[in-house]
Structure 1
Amino acid sequence: MAGAFTNTVFGFLHCYIFLAVAAASRTGHPGGYDRTQLATFVWAGQGLLTVVMLWGWTELADRIRTGDVVSDLLRPVPPVASYLATDLGRAGYAVLTRFLPPVLIGPIFFHVYLPHRWTTPPLFVLSTALAVVISFGCRYLVNATAYWLNDIRGSMIVWTLLSGVGAGLYFPLRFLPEPVVVAWWLLTPLPSLFQAPLDVLVERDPLPTQAGLLAVQLGWAVLILLACRAVQRRAERRLVVQGG
C-alpha cells in the first residue's frame, strides 16, 4: 500500500510537469504527444515501475558473496531460467498490487488517452512482458559482476544512473532529437524497458511501427538472455567459494 501510494503521489508531480511542458510548447504536442497521451504515459509509467523493476534486486549478488550460489548450481534448473521464472511471477503479482492503483486513480483527476485500436491492448501486454524479460536480463548481468568484483555497489550505481534516464522513466525519450533517439533505441536495450510499452499504449505510432518496436524488444530479449547464459557459464568455470 505504501509503494502504491508513493507511485501515485509521483504520478501527480510528473503529470503536472508534463502538462506544463505541453502548455509551453509551440505546437502543444512536445515529442508528438498530446496532453492526454502524456497523462497516460505518466500514469501507466508509474504503474509499470514496479512491474518492470529496474532496481532493488540483489539476490544473486548476495548469494554469490555468501557462497550460497553453489546450491543454485546443484539444482536441475539452470540459474538463469530459475531466476527468470521467479521474476515473471513477481511481475505478475506487481500488476495487481502496483500497476492497477495508479492506472485507476489517474483518470479520476486527469484526461487520459484511451487506445483507439483493438490491437493495442494485446500488443501492450506483450510489450510489457518483453520489457520484464529484458529488465531481468540486465539486472542479472549487473548482479553477475559479483562473480568477479564480489561487491556490486559500483555496478549498481552505474546501472541506476543509466537506466532511469535511458529507459524513458523520467521523461519520454521522444523529447530528444530524433537521431539521438533512434541511435539510443537501436544500440542499447534501455528504451525497450519503458519507452516501448508506453509508446505502444498511447498509440504514438501507427500499427507497423508498433510492431517494429516489439521486434526490437524481442531481439534485445534474446540477446540479453544469451548474454546471461554466457556470463553464467563463464563464471562457473572460475567460481571459488569463500571459506572452501
Structure 2
Amino acid sequence: MYAAVAAGSFRRYATYRVATAAGVFTNTVFGLILVYTYLALWDERPQLGGYDQAQAVTYVWLGQALFATLALQGGGFEAELLERIRTGAVVIDLYRPADLQLWWFAADFGRSAFQLLGRGVIPFAFGTLVFPSALPADPLVWLRFLLALLLATLVSFGIRFLVALSGFWLLDGTGALQLLLVTGMFCTGMALPLNAFPEPLGGIVRALPWSAMLQMPADLLMGETGALRTYAFQAGWAVVLLLLGRMVQTAATRRVVVQGG
C-alpha cells in the first residue's frame, strides 16, 4: 500500500511539467549566483572551511540538486498536512487503515524521488560540467552517497513531520512554516557550508539534525568524512526525530479539534 502511495505521489508531481521546468531554471540561476559569490569568497579565503574552490563549487550544485529533493526550506507535504489539520480533513487520514506517519512518509518519498530526477539532475550536471568540480571517480563512493541521501530523506521528513503536527496546537501553521524556511536556509548549509561557520557556532549547527541533510552527504561525496561516521550521525537523528514524531502524533490524535466545529 505504501509503495502505491509513493508511486502515486511520484506521478502527481510528474504532471506539473511547466513548474518542474521553471524549478530547473530557478535552481540553475541561483546556482550560478552562488558559484560566482563563492568563487569571489574563496579567492579571498582559500581553503575556507577546509574546501578548495572546486569543492566549494561542487557543494553549491549539490545544494541546488537537493534543495527541492529534501525540501530544505520546506515545500513538501507539511503545508498540505497543516491545512488538513486546520480544516479537520485530517480526520479522514486518521480513519484510513494506514499509519499516518508512514502514509505521509511514502507520499513525501515519491515527491523526493521525482524532484531528484526531474529537478535536481539537470542543474547538478550543468554546474559540474561547466565549472571545475570535485566529483569522485569511484562508483562505490556514489553508492555510499546514495545511502546517505536516503538517510537524509528520513531526517528531512522527521523535521517536517514535527512541524506539520504543530498544527494540532497552533491551528494556524504559517509561523511554523516560516521558521522552517529560516532554519532550512542557515542550518542546512544552503547559504554557506557549515564547515565555514565560526566557532562555537559552527560546532553547534554541525551537531543539529539539519547538517545530516546537505553538509554531511556533501562531505561524504567529496571525501571529507567517512561513511560510517556519516551514517551513524544521520541514522541517530532519523531515529530520534521519527520516534519523537510518533510520540507527538499519539498525543495529538487523542483529541482532534476541528476548527469551526
Q: Tell whether the 8 Å contact from 2:49 to 2:196 is kept in structure 1 after alignment.
A: yes
Equivalences, count: 238
- Counterpart residue identity of residue 131, structure 2: F
Query: Which residue of 2 is the match for residue 159 of structure 1?
Result: 180
TM-score by length of 2: 0.87
Out of 38, 56, 77, which is 2:98 matched to?
Answer: 77
TM-fit CA distance, 1:179: 4.3
SS of residue in 2 equivalent to 1:204: coil
Distance 1:181-1:213 versus aligned 2 partners, 3 A rule? farther
For residues 114 and 106 of structure 1, the distance between their equivalents in structure 2, rounded to whole angstroms, comes to: 12
Q: Does 1:215 align with 2:235?
A: no
SS of residue in 1 equivalent to 2:134: coil
Identical positions, percent: 39
Q: Deviations over 1:155-185 (max 9, x none)?
A: 1112211221011111101112354333332
Q: Does 1:56 align with 2:75?
A: yes
Map 1:1-244 onto structure 2 (within 5 A): 1-25=21-45, 28-54=46-72, 55-57=74-76, 58-177=79-198, 179-186=200-207, 188-205=208-225, 207=226, 210-244=227-261
- Counterpart residue identity of residue 32, structure 2: F
For residues 169 and 37 of structure 2, the distance between their equivalents in structure 1, rounded to whole angstroms, comes to: 42
TM-fit CA distance, 1:222: 0.8
- Counterpart residue identity of residue 16, structure 1: Y
For residues 60 and 107 of structure 1, the distance between their equivalents in structure 2, rounded to whole angstroms, comes to: 36
TM-fit CA distance, 1:201: 1.4
For residues 103 and 185 of structure 1, the distance between their equivalents in structure 2, rounded to whole angstroms, comes to: 24
SS of residue in 2 equivalent to 1:121: helix
Q: Which moved more, 1:196-205 or 1:29-38?
A: 196-205
TM-score by length of 1: 0.92
- Counterpart residue identity of residue 157, structure 1: Q
Gaps of 5+ in 1: none
SS of residue in 2 equivalent to 1:119: helix
SS of residue in 2 equivalent to 1:47: helix
Q: Deviations over 1:86-105 (max 9, x none)?
A: 11111111111111111111
TM-fit CA distance, 1:107: 2.6
Distance 1:243-1:31 versus aligned 2 partners, 3 A rule? closer
SS of residue in 1 equivalent to 2:256: coil
Q: Deviations over 1:91-146 (max 9, x none)?
A: 11111111111111113321111215443211211111111111111111111111
SS of residue in 1 equivalent to 2:258: coil
For residues 172 and 106 of structure 1, the distance between their equivalents in structure 2, rounded to whole angstroms, comes to: 17
Q: Tell whether the 8 Å contact from 1:196 to 1:214 is kept in structure 2 after alignment.
A: no
Gaps of 5+ in 2: 1-20
Q: Tell whether the 8 Å contact from 2:145 to 2:217 is kept in structure 1 after alignment.
A: yes
Q: Provide the alpha-carbon RMSD of the alignment.
A: 1.5
Query: Which residue of 1 is the match for residue 7 of structure 2?
Result: none
